[in-house]
Structure 1
Amino acid sequence: MEEIKKTKTRDEIDEKYKWRIEKVYKDIEAWETDFNRLKEFQPKISVLSGKLSDGKKLLEFYKLDEEASRILEKLFIYAHQRSDEDTTNTTFQTLKSRIDAYLSEFKSAAAFFVPEILSLPEEDIKKEVENVPELKLYEFALKDILKAKPYTLSKREEELLASVSDCLEAPGNIFNMLSNADISFPKIIDEDGKEAELTEVKYSNFIKSKNREVRKNAFNALFNTYSNYKNTFAQTLSASIKNFVFQSKVRHYKNSMEYSLKPNDIPLSVYDNVIETVNNNLKASLHRYVDVKKKLLKLDEIHMYDLYVPVVDTPKDHIEFERAVQIAKEGLKPLGKEYLDIFDSGIKDGWIDVFENKGKRGGAYSFGCYDSMPYVLLNYNYEINDVSTLVHEMGHSIHSYYSRKTQPFIYASYTLFCAEVASTTNECLLINHLINTEEDENKKLYFINQQLEQIRTTVFRQVMFAEFEKITHESIENGKPLSAEDFCKIWHDLNVKYFGPDMIVDKEIDMEWSRIPHFYSDFYVYQYATGYAAANSFSSMILKGGEPAVKKYKEFLKSGGSDYPIDILKKGGVDMATPKPLEDTIDTFNKLLDMLDKD
């Protein structure tokens, strides 16, 4: 009888595969020393409240805040990463709880800063910046705060809004409880002919099943269950949109979309361009993809439950971590020697916690702070997808490495609009390398299909979500309430438009809107599409343009948050204010489709 492979304990993992967290603090005593030191800053910062009209006091605030924040970040990453190494370790769970609690306390001590800056006349602040030369460093940060002045309410009104923030967030909380805790799904018959529990997590496996009955039954069971709660979900989503629209009106924005995009200086035209560009290319791209998939799966009819089944089986190669590093470096070679040297030093210097161990947090992430090296958590499982995860997370980490080396602390962090660009650029370079160098025809087709699916789900699907948000928000802004039937009709019509005449748009899919948590973070999802488009543009420029293109790309990596995201990307050579990056991504999709559809 084959021995069951047991998950190793933390102590059984070779040290060379663990991150060197001791470079942050050598032990808990050192952590405690800094924690006590941090507490000394609170009264020093609080005493500056009401004095920021004096440039010297404003500079003092910035310096104190930076010194305290840098200590706080180190304390935070040490506690969280030690906790993630083994979530059953109560010592580190306690450290994590302590720093999480103190983070809220620290934020409240400095909470006076932004309202006070907004209460000061802009000309007075400009004068103080001229009088105190060291404040020049903070000019962009101050300008960014002052930009919100026309949308800031009186102190009393701001306090009133803050006091009802829990109520305004209630729809999202209700959605989470209803979809995660209260809904239960019926059992279905799995591929082995056995009764199996259906859950949201297991659904993602069932919908990829090679057995069509399994995926059809899972699809019907999931969405028919959601349909039983359709009126509750409709009221919850309506309330969430109404809350967002209410806040945008109270703050005097033109509409809710402006309320979401303007703080990051993203023109509304970017959002509209994304939807328009995808709509203009649906027939030649996504409709054709449906047709090719139908043909490759040898189906008389293609239904919504056939979308996720792979047309090519996954390669079953066992890839040791050292080989994964080599594959990653081969894929990232176009980024040049300097980038690869940083990648190498990350492997050797202990950036990465590689393997699963008992109690270790699942998934993968990139972390770290201004005064630490970047850190990457993996749960490496010897598969080709794990190589992709490695380059993705190292993309984040090397982005952070460049930002922190180049930018002062205040501008070292980058925005969400830019966050996924560097990681996805790495993925694009890797998949391009795998497709171009693979000699086994089946594996090559697998990689082609993988990239097609990534573009379909990250670009086309997320833009459909974005269009749904635009329609629903505009409807409520114009005084037209939305019922469950309205949401279902909007969703059905979008699916018909996006997937084209070959797709049978099953009525069950009409309820899909009800299970998307991102709809409770208004106008968020379009950034998946823009992020992928920017990454595709960067990878194409790097592959075609060589060293000059790499140099421009590094300018993007080094920019951190020193400017607004659209301008940072533009300096790197990608203009997201135009449709071109998205058009180029769709062009990549079409070329991959040509490679898959050889008949």
Structure 2
Amino acid sequence: MKRKYEILMLLLFAVLLGFSCSQTDGDSSGALPERKDIAEEYTWNLNDLYSGLEAWEAEFQSVENSIPELKTYQGKLDHSGDIILECLKKRDELASRIDKLYVYAHLAMDSDTRNPEFQSRANRIASLEVRFHEMVSYIVPELQTIAGKTLERYIENTPGLDMYGHYFHDLNRSRSHILNPDQERLLAMTGDMARTPGRVHEMLTVTDIRFPKVKNEEGKWVELSPGRYYQMLYSEDPDVRRGAFEGMYGTYEKFQNVNAAAFDGMLKADIFYARARNFESTLHASLFSDNIPTDVYDNLIESVHNNLEPLRKYMELRKQVLGVDNLHLYDTSVPIVPEAGEKVPYEEARQKVLEALHPLGEDYLKLAKEGLYGRWIDVYETRGKTNGAYSWGTYDAPHPYILMNYNDTRDNMFTLAHELGHTIHSMLTNKNQPYIYSDYSLFVAEVASTMNEALLLDHLLKTTEDPNIRLALMDQWADNIVGTLYTQVLFAEFEKTIHEKAEAGIPITAETLNETYMAILKSYYGDSLVLDDLYKLTWGRIGHFYRSFYVYVYATSISASTYLSGKILDGNSQAVSDYLDMLKAGGSDYPINLLKNAGVDMSKPDAVNYTLQKFGEIVDEMSRAL
């Protein structure tokens, strides 16, 4: 099932990738606007899911009443292929309906996390989902007791059961990690508890924390927010950048012990599940579902460490351009040329995104236009709205939805293209696959999003001859590589290191987290910039850490999409076809195989090295241009 915080939520990072910001500075006091102040056309239309709350409640009751029906199959799955097929179809039907209920409730809550009714509805469907998993927890263990030859005979003699071929193959691969039915039921019952650390972090960082007011470029005091923080990092005024940094991280410093307790709870949950299911480590447990060897993760970290010189050279270039003796990390988002910070209104952004996607064909463009103009997107930041950006949908719905916090910057335009890539990926998957394969892996998901960014960059470079704008776009791409490849691998290394410490029994406190993060941060940047001590608290800002060992896919994906986009932009029609076939395939095969079919082998370092080499070349070209 697709679940926020566990599977489908695809937020962009606050650090170096950039949370988006509000449409305006709000009222004269600098407060964020309320949702009612935003024009309807810039809000998502949840009526496409349900006609209203009464319809949602009626469906909730219907699903709740239907869940016990799945009990009738328990103990009977080895009787015939027909019973297996009937059980799996019933399970998938209810799972799809629960997904839809879950998505509606959480989209509403994300639009205003302060609303207690929204919170209550989200909690109710989350609890129902846990009860559903508890009810179906017997299915996998029972299927795994059936002899392989018997199951093959059932598949051969039962029309329709062959649809689950890949599913059965994956179950067979997982036999040593599946427990008996009673133990699986107990694990399923822990679902609500396991989500608690992430919910604590979310409520703390999104709802309860109030950031101070800081001065903007106009000298006005405005309330700091995650969106405005990133906007202020673009400022040419060093006092504004420093003030935003100190306001943001100084606030997190006050809550570091509570934050660390939530983080420790998440680590303990990861270790519990990994050991309960007989995995070698939490990393092994996290990568197993996608059938990705841990060597891929380790090799990625090694490849980046072997290519840190271009990163440091890029920082030195920024230092020279700013004309400062000391470059701070909060200085590294300042545009190298003024054009990098020019305004890109939302209307202009969605038009340029559409123009950029022409290489992917008319069918892709049609879906893109529907998404951009059909109220699938919640555009602007408002008080109480969740941070960041994501694409989130459900199989049994007309379309996915996109959450934005748009603030008229070029970076926001790239975020829009990014999330639209996820959305169309989901549309193509749901159209071409049964529910069981609609939940594609994050390993391929981020290829779909970063592909759109690559095409947008190429379009913008081709449609301007202004050398300063071209330089700004190269800087945009270089900054994206820093944020999406270098920074995410840094995060991935931190995750691996802190999990290993927890698995070794080392107490995880704020001090442990701070020291671990800062040591890794220094190993990446060396002496190329000043790393203020408060940056040790970055771990407390990154919600993605509560989806363990997830962030590395940003790095592998941008490498894969950089490699594949080169083929597509060369006019290779077969490359386009192969790429779209990958989007349509959903989760019907393992992600490494899907990418191989699309033309890139991520079990080898070629795509990562190619991307880092290109980054180095771009930095050299920027140096010559400047």
TM-score tier after normalising by the smaller chain length:
0.7 to 0.9
1:282 corresponds in structure 2 to: 308
User: How far is 1:421 from its partner?
Assistant: 1.7
Partners of 1:517 and 1:81 in 2: CA distance:
17
- Residues 553-573 of structure 1: CA deviation (Å, up to 9, x unaligned): 111111101011111111111
1:370 is paired with a residue whose SS is coil
* C-alpha contact 2:137 2:181 (8 A) present in aligned 1: no
Matches within 5 A, 1:456-535: 456-478=482-504, 487-535=513-561
* C-alpha contact 2:177 2:277 (8 A) present in aligned 1: yes
User: How far is 1:580 from its partner?
Assistant: 1.5
AA of the residue aligned to 1:52: L
User: How far is 1:63 from its partner?
Assistant: 2.4
Tell me whether 1:309 sits opposite 2:325 in the alignment.
no
Distance 1:189 1:341, change over 3 A: closer
Larger mean CA deviation between 45-54 and 551-560 belongs to 45-54
Larger mean CA deviation between 550-559 and 32-41 belongs to 32-41
- Residues 388-419 of structure 1: CA deviation (Å, up to 9, x unaligned): 34433332222122212222232123122222
2:610 corresponds in structure 1 to: 584
Match of 2:362 among 320, 333, 337: 337
Partners of 1:92 and 1:176 in 2: CA distance:
15
Partners of 2:521 and 2:480 in 1: CA distance:
18
RCO comparison, higher one (Cα < 8 Å, 6+): 2
Partners of 1:422 and 1:260 in 2: CA distance:
21
User: How far is 1:218 from its partner?
Assistant: 4.6
2:453 corresponds in structure 1 to: 427
User: How far is 1:114 from its partner?
Assistant: 2.7
2:596 corresponds in structure 1 to: 570
2:570 corresponds in structure 1 to: 544
Partners of 2:592 and 2:607 in 1: CA distance:
12
AA of the residue aligned to 1:570: K
Tell me whether 1:245 sits opposite 2:234 in the alignment.
no
1:311 is paired with a residue whose SS is coil
User: How far is 1:281 from its partner?
Assistant: 0.7
Which 5+ residue runs of structure 2 have no aligned equivalent? 1-25
- Residues 9-61 of structure 1: CA deviation (Å, up to 9, x unaligned): 699757xx887766666777877776676566434322112211122211111
1:373 corresponds in structure 2 to: 398
2:361 is paired with a residue whose SS is helix
User: How far is 1:478 from its partner?
Assistant: 4.5
Distance 1:222 1:593, change over 3 A: same
Tell me whether 1:269 sits opposite 2:284 in the alignment.
no
Match of 1:402 among 398, 419, 428: 428
AA of the residue aligned to 1:256: T
- Residues 516-570 of structure 1: CA deviation (Å, up to 9, x unaligned): 4444433222122122222222222211252111011111111101011111111
Distance 1:512 1:94, change over 3 A: closer
TM-score (norm 1): 0.83
Partners of 1:181 and 1:21 in 2: CA distance:
22
Match of 1:327 among 341, 344, 352: 352
Larger Rg: 1
User: How far is 1:106 from its partner?
Assistant: 4.3
Larger mean CA deviation between 332-341 and 192-201 belongs to 192-201
User: How far is 1:316 from its partner?
Assistant: 4.0
Partners of 1:202 and 1:357 in 2: CA distance:
10
User: How far is 1:481 from its partner?
Assistant: 5.3
Matches within 5 A, 1:102-141: 103-141=129-167
Distance 1:423 1:210, change over 3 A: same
Partners of 2:220 and 2:416 in 1: CA distance:
36
Which 5+ residue runs of structure 1 have no aligned equivalent? none
* C-alpha contact 1:230 1:484 (8 A) present in aligned 2: yes
Tell me whether 1:300 sits opposite 2:362 in the alignment.
no
Larger mean CA deviation between 30-39 and 323-332 belongs to 30-39
1:450 corresponds in structure 2 to: 476
Larger mean CA deviation between 508-517 and 443-452 belongs to 508-517
Partners of 1:144 and 1:527 in 2: CA distance:
21
Partners of 2:219 and 2:407 in 1: CA distance:
28
Larger mean CA deviation between 80-89 and 185-194 belongs to 80-89
* C-alpha contact 1:66 1:409 (8 A) present in aligned 2: yes
* C-alpha contact 1:492 1:510 (8 A) present in aligned 2: yes
Tell me whether 1:411 sits opposite 2:437 in the alignment.
yes
Matches within 5 A, 1:34-433: 38=63, 41-54=66-79, 55-73=81-99, 103-155=129-181, 157-158=183-184, 191=217, 202-220=228-246, 223=249, 237=263, 240-283=266-309, 285-313=310-338, 314-317=340-343, 319=345, 321=347, 323-344=348-369, 350=374, 352-353=376-377, 365-377=390-402, 384-385=410-411, 387-433=413-459
Partners of 2:185 and 2:455 in 1: CA distance:
49
AA of the residue aligned to 1:271: Y
AA of the residue aligned to 2:363: E
Count of matched residue positions in the alignment of Structure 1 and Structure 2: 592
User: How far is 1:66 from its partner?
Assistant: 3.5
Partners of 2:223 and 2:522 in 1: CA distance:
31
* C-alpha contact 1:174 1:236 (8 A) present in aligned 2: yes
Distance 1:240 1:330, change over 3 A: closer
AA of the residue aligned to 1:300: D
Distance 1:104 1:331, change over 3 A: same
Partners of 2:426 and 2:61 in 1: CA distance:
28
- Residues 262-302 of structure 1: CA deviation (Å, up to 9, x unaligned): 1220111110111011111101x101111111011111222
Identity in percent: 36
Partners of 2:204 and 2:108 in 1: CA distance:
33
Distance 1:250 1:308, change over 3 A: same
Larger mean CA deviation between 4-13 and 386-395 belongs to 4-13
C-alpha RMSD over aligned residues? 4.2
* C-alpha contact 1:366 1:374 (8 A) present in aligned 2: no
Distance 1:508 1:157, change over 3 A: same
Distance 1:269 1:371, change over 3 A: same
User: How far is 1:136 from its partner?
Assistant: 1.4
* C-alpha contact 2:392 2:400 (8 A) present in aligned 1: yes
2:603 is paired with a residue whose SS is coil
Distance 1:330 1:195, change over 3 A: closer
User: How far is 1:76 from its partner?
Assistant: 5.6
Partners of 1:172 and 1:67 in 2: CA distance:
28
Distance 1:500 1:375, change over 3 A: same
2:465 corresponds in structure 1 to: 439
Distance 1:319 1:66, change over 3 A: same
1:264 is paired with a residue whose SS is coil
Partners of 1:470 and 1:557 in 2: CA distance:
29
2:570 is paired with a residue whose SS is helix
* C-alpha contact 2:437 2:586 (8 A) present in aligned 1: yes
User: How far is 1:437 from its partner?
Assistant: 1.8
AA of the residue aligned to 1:328: V
